């Protein structure tokens, strides 16, 4: 149940500060707030709340607006609430009439709203941004026919996993839970944990790996004694669920030590779904988090899908689920999909034509826009540097899925705001290529390339050519 929206007052108060009097109504954020169909958001998210019981919820426009502002500007929940009280444009975007001096809610309310709408609600917001981009001219309708797909890593907000740190934390937590349920230990080995962890780090830094593994084996031996005492005193039927889960984590840590054949390794105690992904980066060889599949248009780079994947699947196996999601987002399937060589073998699908880069002669025909395959790389970079894709702080696999979709929503809204600023205020970003176009008379439709630039310079007269060079 939603509380009645009392922000629409019948007449003005002489002592209130009205936002319409202090903001520029031609600002791109104001225009974006007018173009979003807030009534459709209320119709979709309203039934998720109880109608006859509980405290009335906050207005839907306020809840959705705060989520959009968070991912547009790449802020945390607390930061977006603090800046909301300072920015009249943000308050007007969220439906306020008068200037507010206090935060409208606690940051945990934003967390509960994300959990309530889930991944499907986040996808509804992504569909809304795609529709807005088409209405504002940010993307052309024919651009949906050729799309680009790639995968990246969304790191999780966890510390770097080491055997000593994981065993130490699991040991402490297991002993604390067991004592709360009445288990008595002859010796808990808690007092020697700090010294063992310190020695392991010292020997690892000094490259004395035999001594390091000797202390690691001692830590594992102590953990084995704790697990054995717990199993002897507490049967499976008498253990609580948290104690059973922690015991299972301890046994996983003991099994995976020294055995590299185990694929489902445990890298975090509070985020057990985290996987180790190697992308071949020189600066960071291994990343711990979730693999994310991103799909954009080849022409404008609009994000059409951003999905967090379970585990570390092969890229080629993600094509058909990806195309089915695009069908639900766009209402149609793309005709051409441009991918890199990591998707080898995925061109056998019947849903669309898959074009893989680096094809040898006689082994497939390249698409005429094959050079646009690399356009997705800067889009992913912007989603990580300007958005929140570089680190996920939401809990669990569901948090990964919601966060990935909302990062795509924020990227689309940044593109739409840029387009609205150009249309409303006549601001067009000057780039080095646009300056060369104006100076050399290169046609507007010419593609940005060094070859076209050299051809245009050669066409100039000798005197003007010397001045340009």
Q: Which among 64, 222, 138 is positioned nearest to 411, based on CA atoms?
A: 138
What is the rounded CA–CA span in Å between residue 387 and residue 405?
12
Closest by CA position to 36, among listed 72, 73, 77: 72
Residue 426 confidence (pLDDT): 61
According to DSSP, the residues that pair with 154 across neighbouring strands are 290
85 Cβ contact partners less than 8 Å away, ≥ 6 residues apart: 100, 101, 102, 103
- On whether the 140-158+275-406 domain is CATH 3.30.420, my answer is yes
Per-residue confidence (pLDDT) for residue 444, from 0 to 100: 57
pLDDT reported for residue 4: 57
Q: Which residues of 450-467 are buried (b: 16+ CB within 10 A; e: fewer)?
A: eebbeebbeebeeeeeee
So where are the chain's domains?
Answer: 140-158+275-406, 163-256, 432-468
Contact indicator for 404, 308 with CB cutoff of 8 Å: yes
The pLDDT of residue 435: 59
Taking only the tens place, the pLDDT of each residue in 335-379 is 999 998 888 887 778 888 888 887 654 455 567 778 888 889 999
Per-residue confidence in pLDDT tens, the chain, 469 aa: 566 566 655 666 766 778 888 888 888 999 999 999 998 988 888 888 877 777 788 889 999 999 999 999 999 999 999 999 999 999 999 988 888 889 999 999 999 999 999 999 999 999 999 999 999 889 998 999 999 999 999 999 998 888 999 999 999 999 999 999 888 999 999 999 999 999 999 999 999 999 999 999 999 999 999 999 999 998 888 899 999 999 999 999 988 887 777 778 889 999 999 988 888 777 888 889 999 999 999 988 999 999 999 988 988 889 999 999 999 998 889 999 999 888 888 777 888 888 888 765 445 556 777 888 888 999 999 999 999 999 999 998 999 999 999 999 999 999 999 998 888 766 555 566 565 566 556 665 555 566 666 666 666 665 444 444 4
Residue whose C-alpha is closest to residue 230's, from 218, 221, 239: 239
140: left (phi over 0), alpha (psi -120 to 50) or beta: beta
pLDDT at position 349: 80
What is the separation of C-alpha 312 from the centre of its chain, rounded to a whole number of angstroms?
16
What does the pLDDT read at residue 452? 66
pLDDT value of residue 467: 45
> For position 363, what pLDDT does the model report?
53
- CA torsion angle 291 296 301 304 (round to 10): -100
Q: How far apart are CA 194 and CA 207, in angstroms?
A: 20
């Amino acid at each position: 149940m939603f509380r009645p929206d009392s922000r629409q007052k019948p007449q003005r108060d002489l002592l209130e500060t009205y936002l319409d009097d202090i903001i520029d109504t031609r600002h791109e954020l104001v225009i974006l707030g007018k173009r979003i169909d807030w009534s459709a958001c209320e119709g979709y998210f309203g039934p998720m709340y109880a109608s006859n019981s509980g405290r009335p919820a906050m207005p839907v426009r306020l809840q959705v607006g705060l989520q959009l502002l968070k991912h547009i500007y790449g802020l945390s929940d607390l930061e977006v609430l603090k800046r909301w009280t300072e920015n009249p444009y943000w308050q007007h975007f969220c439906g306020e009439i008068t200037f507010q001096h206090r935060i409208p809610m606690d940051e945990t309310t934003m967390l509960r709203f994300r959990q309530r709408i889930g991944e499907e609600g986040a996808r509804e917001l992504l569909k809304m941004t795609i529709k807005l981009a088409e209405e504002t001219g940010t993307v052309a309708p024919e651009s949906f026919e050729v799309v680009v797909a790639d995968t990246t890593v969304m790191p999780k907000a966890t510390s770097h996993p080491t055997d000593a740190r994981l065993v130490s934390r699991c040991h402490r937590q297991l002993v604390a839970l067991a004592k709360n349920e009445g288990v008595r230990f002859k010796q808990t080995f808690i007092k020697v944990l700090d010294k063992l962890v310190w020695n392991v780090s010292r020997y690892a830094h000094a490259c004395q790996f035999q001594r390091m593994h000797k202390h690691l084996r001692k830590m594992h031996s102590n953990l084995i004694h704790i697990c054995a005492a717990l199993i002897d005193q507490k049967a499976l039927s008498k253990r609580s669920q948290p104690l059973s889960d922690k015991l299972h984590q301890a046994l996983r840590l003991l099994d995976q030590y020294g055995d590299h054949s185990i694929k489902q390794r445990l890298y975090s105690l509070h985020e057990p779904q985290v996987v180790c992904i190697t992308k071949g980066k020189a600066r960071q060889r291994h990343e711990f988090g979730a693999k994310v599949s991103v799909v954009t248009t080849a022409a404008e780079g609009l994000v059409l899908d951003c999905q967090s994947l379970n585990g570390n699947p092969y890229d080629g196996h993600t094509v058909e689920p990806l195309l089915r999601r695009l069908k639900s987002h766009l209402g149609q399937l793309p005709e051409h999909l441009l991918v890199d060589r990591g998707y080898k073998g995925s061109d056998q699908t019947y849903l669309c034509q898959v074009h893989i880069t680096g094809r040898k002669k006689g082994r497939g025909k390249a698409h005429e826009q094959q050079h646009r395959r690399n356009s997705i790389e800067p889009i992913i970079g912007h989603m990580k540097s300007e958005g929140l894709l570089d680190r996920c702080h939401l809990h669990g696999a569901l948090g990964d899925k919601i966060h990935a979709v909302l990062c795509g929503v924020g990227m689309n809204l940044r593109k739409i705001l840029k387009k609205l600023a150009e249309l409303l205020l006549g601001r067009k970003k000057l780039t080095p290529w646009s300056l060369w176009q104006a100076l050399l008379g290169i046609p507007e439709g010419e593609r940005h390339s060094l070859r076209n630039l050299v051809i245009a310079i050669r066409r100039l007269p000798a005197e003007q050519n010397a001045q340009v060079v």
